[in-house]
Amino acid sequence: MKRAKTMGVVLLALFAFSAIAATAAQAEEAPFWSIQGTRLAAGKTFELTAKAKTNQTLTAAGITITCTALALKEGAVLLGSNAGEPGRSDEIIKYTGCKVAGNGEPCEVATPGKEEVVTEALTNELAYASNKKSLVVEFKPIKGTILSKLKFSGSGCKETETSVHGVAVAKALTEAEVLLELPNAVAQATSFLLKIEPTVKTKIWLITAGVGSEVETEEITAFGHEATLAGTALILLAEKGKSVEKLWSPLL
């Protein structure tokens, strides 16, 4: 009887170990930030900066806002993560050189002398495209659903203000515009591109606590209609507001 009980305990222990091993084997590694070959761990941050490589546009209801430049406001940082959790970043984006078309004449972006648009505080998360290979970055507000608020001035404006709602997704590329994707190891570089293409909704593969799932992002809207965003930005590491030549990677 004692031997049977002992065997039962052993079998139970083996079953528990097998269950743990199976869970570990199924865990997915989320993309994460690494700097100089070392993972940026949870609780660690690193300053981030960016600039436009192409015009940045928002289009909805026949109205287009085009901005020629962008910058990240002070405080933009990469956020580290532990195994099974994706790298993230927090920032506020300022777009400048902004013009509006299709909203009547005369009409301009309502920041006299600046022609700028400033987003709400955003949080970004590293994820994969639905193919589970190529890297994407999901942009969404830290609070609420508003990405940015726009105002317009001029006697001809048909719309005087709107809020842009939703979630934006950018493809991650090398400076040579090659997709960052698995299973090939991604070389460290001093800068990367984020490219937003004009799609209303996007399916992405998000990984949290080692578990991945396909998610369809919330559509982007403005002026009460479906909207699209487009544009490519160059992202770099920074120290005290200035870009630095450090090697880093947003993918494993």
* Sequence ranges of the domains in the chain: 2-249
Question: Is the model's pTM score more than 0.75?
Answer: yes
The answer to whether 55 and 233 are in contact (CB under 8 A) is no
Is residue 82 within 8 Å of residue 209, measured between CB atoms? no
pLDDT of 188 reads 87
Over its C-alpha atoms, the chain yields an Rg (Å, rounded) of 22
Which band of pLDDT confidence, cut at 50, 70 and 90, is reported for residue 181? Answer: confident
Residues written for the chain:
252
Output the pLDDT for position 66: 97
Q: How confident is the model at residue 182, as a pLDDT?
A: 81
pLDDT higher than 90, residue 18: no
Is residue 57 within 8 A of residue 78, CB to CB? The reply is: no
Determine the Cα–Cα distance for residues 148 and 221; give it in Å rounded to an integer: 11
Residue 186, pLDDT score: 64
Region 160-182 average pLDDT? 93
